[in-house]
Structure 1
Amino acid sequence: MTDSNPVLALDNVSKFFGTVIALRGVSIAARAGEVLCLLGDNGAGKSTLIKTLSGVHKPTEGKILIDGQPVVLESPRDALDRGIATVFQDLATVPLMSIARNFFMGREPTTGKGPFRRLDWDFMCETTRKEMKDLGIDVRDPTQAVGTLSGGERQCLAIARAVHFGARVLILDEPTSALGVHQASVVLRIIVRARARGLAVIFITHNVHHAYPVADEFTILNRGRSIGTFRKADVTRDAVLEMMAGGKELVDLEAELKAASAA
């Protein structure tokens, strides 16, 4: 079930670094129970947009709105406290730590009192196992090191952690870029499950073939500007590819190869 009112929105946002224009007049709206894909080639402004949404950068112009109200995100912690969770490409996990410890990093529950206070490992392990299973990953031993997980499973851990700690908006920075076909499909299924749980998901990628199956809406960036926002029902995969930088050349090349193979 989707809500027509955006949970998080940018209204005509620009970001300048001196004379460099990183973003110019970008507007987007992320709604609960939907996946908004931000598409763009390298240099399109995706990284700056992510950092603006997550509280790293403040807009030079324009407004950030949460539930329709203008806000100023003072820091990534401020954004997280307001329910905006960002999963960056590096995932911010510690490979030698356990899955459960990574899940609760910085928010570890304890049991006991005074000098007998200790980590509540039973609660940590059970919660980690349950939250990851809800997203489709069965973790047999939450005490095993995160470094033993695949790339897709680590993405699941980061997403499950964000969901558990109350995220309303989930921002995913190129979550499938370094993954093989199978692991990418695992992550895409997790995105669909997060949407089904009522989160507003912002999926940043340059891969149309990963974005198109899961997206409800597309915003296409090119050199810091928005080319436009399109509902999935109103635009084809090839049309999205053409609007991205270099897209037309790829479509033309595909047509040439088909013609050559048919000859």
Structure 2
Amino acid sequence: MTTPALEARGIAKRFGALTALSEINLHVDPGEVLGLIGDNGAGKSTLIKILCGYHQPDSGQILVAGQEVTFRSVDHARSLGVDTVYQDLALINELSVYHNMFLNRELVRWPLLNNRAMKRRAEQRLRDMGVNLPDVGVEVAKLSGGQRQAIAVARSVYSDARVLLLDEPLAAMGAKEGAMILDVIRDLRERGDVSVIIIAHNYAQVLDVCDRVNLLQHGRITFDKRAADTSLEELTELVVADYRRRR
């Protein structure tokens, strides 16, 4: 059996009297793209924050490549190969594309930054991921939402991330920008050297780019199937049926 790249066992999280997560069991295999879906308030963001080290679980285990770990912080999780791209991206709008790509990892030719090398590598890395920008020297503020998202993903991939958590990467994007990000995710899947967990609301897009789908409802994983073995109709009916039961 394949050892998961990242695994959660029995994860629970409470905030006062509110139980956000209850006995979560989830895994993503090496090179796999896992889609995590569920209504607002289901616990998706809380789970991602636990898997990236932002929150500590109240109980349960997290394993990276089969080894149990306790993430002390987001930076600690990142040092172990688990990185997250949030909706706000953590890019600096006033800096160039290539400076953002090397943010906190700048190449230095003492006593100055090696801008030429960073620019060359940024161009190559984006090109390798199928992201075509006319100029990596342009300020990030001048780019589209899809282009900024692609830069944030590329930065994480080339920081030696082995597991990439994407929190709503397609939110508020038009069709063209969304297609760019879907192409980046497909490219990662074809490369097979990075595992991806993607939170998304568009089930059709999830089925298009993911190998497997998990449905999170009321703080629990209630559905786990290969994308090829389910359908848009089945996923929609599961969510609608749950909505009807709660009315």
Instruction: Give the deviation of 1:143 after TM superposition.
Output: 1.3
**For structure 2, which runs of at least 5 residues remain unmatched after alignment?**
none
Match of 2:238 in 1: 243
Structure 1 residues 16-66: Cα deviation after superposition (integer angstroms, max 9, x where no partner):
112110111111111122110000111010110110010001111111011
Match of 2:133 in 1: 139
Match of 1:156 in 2: 150
**For structure 1, which runs of at least 5 residues remain unmatched after alignment?**
250-263
1:7–1:67 Cα contact (<8 Å) kept: yes
Instruction: Give the deviation of 1:4 after TM superposition.
Output: 2.6
The TM-score with structure 1 as length reference comes to 0.89
Q: Using the alignment, how far apart are the partners of 2:73 and 2:241 within structure 1?
A: 35
Which range moved further: 52-61 or 231-240?
231-240
Structure 1 residues 162-202: Cα deviation after superposition (integer angstroms, max 9, x where no partner):
11110000110000011001111110110011122221010
Match of 1:257 in 2: none
2:106 alignment partner, SS class: coil
Q: Using the alignment, how far apart are the partners of 1:248 and 1:130 within structure 2?
A: 47
* Match status 1:209 vs 2:207: no
The TM-score with structure 2 as length reference comes to 0.94
* Match status 1:27 vs 2:37: no
Aligned counterparts, 1:36-47, within 5 A: 36-47=34-45
Q: Using the alignment, how far apart are the partners of 2:234 and 2:69 within structure 1?
A: 35
Instruction: Give the deviation of 1:245 after TM superposition.
Output: 5.2
Which range moved further: 237-246 or 64-73?
237-246
AA matched with 1:44: A
1:241–1:248 Cα contact (<8 Å) kept: no
Aligned counterparts, 1:51-200, within 5 A: 51-112=49-110, 117-197=111-191, 198-200=193-195
Q: 1:60 to 1:101 in 2, by over 3 A?
A: same
2:118 alignment partner, SS class: helix
Instruction: Give the deviation of 1:247 after TM superposition.
Output: 8.0
Match of 1:8 in 2: 6
Instruction: Give the deviation of 1:233 after TM superposition.
Output: 2.6
Match of 1:49 in 2: 47
1:222–1:245 Cα contact (<8 Å) kept: no
2:216 maps to which of 189, 210, 221: 221
Q: Hey, which bits of structure 1, 4+ residues long, moved more than 6 A? A: 246-249
* Match status 1:230 vs 2:225: yes
Measured on the aligned residues, the alpha-carbon RMSD in Å equals 1.5
Q: Using the alignment, how far apart are the partners of 1:241 and 1:71 within structure 2?
A: 35
Q: Using the alignment, how far apart are the partners of 1:248 and 1:190 within structure 2?
A: 33
Q: Using the alignment, how far apart are the partners of 2:242 and 2:128 within structure 1?
A: 37
Q: Using the alignment, how far apart are the partners of 1:22 and 1:148 within structure 2?
A: 38
1:22–1:48 Cα contact (<8 Å) kept: yes
Q: Using the alignment, how far apart are the partners of 1:247 and 1:126 within structure 2?
A: 51
Q: Using the alignment, how far apart are the partners of 1:63 and 1:245 within structure 2?
A: 31
Among the aligned pairs, what percent are the same residue?
A: 38
Q: Using the alignment, how far apart are the partners of 1:18 and 1:245 within structure 2?
A: 29
Q: Using the alignment, how far apart are the partners of 2:210 and 2:240 within structure 1?
A: 19
Q: Using the alignment, how far apart are the partners of 2:82 and 2:239 within structure 1?
A: 27
Instruction: Give the deviation of 1:150 after TM superposition.
Output: 1.1
2:183 alignment partner, SS class: helix
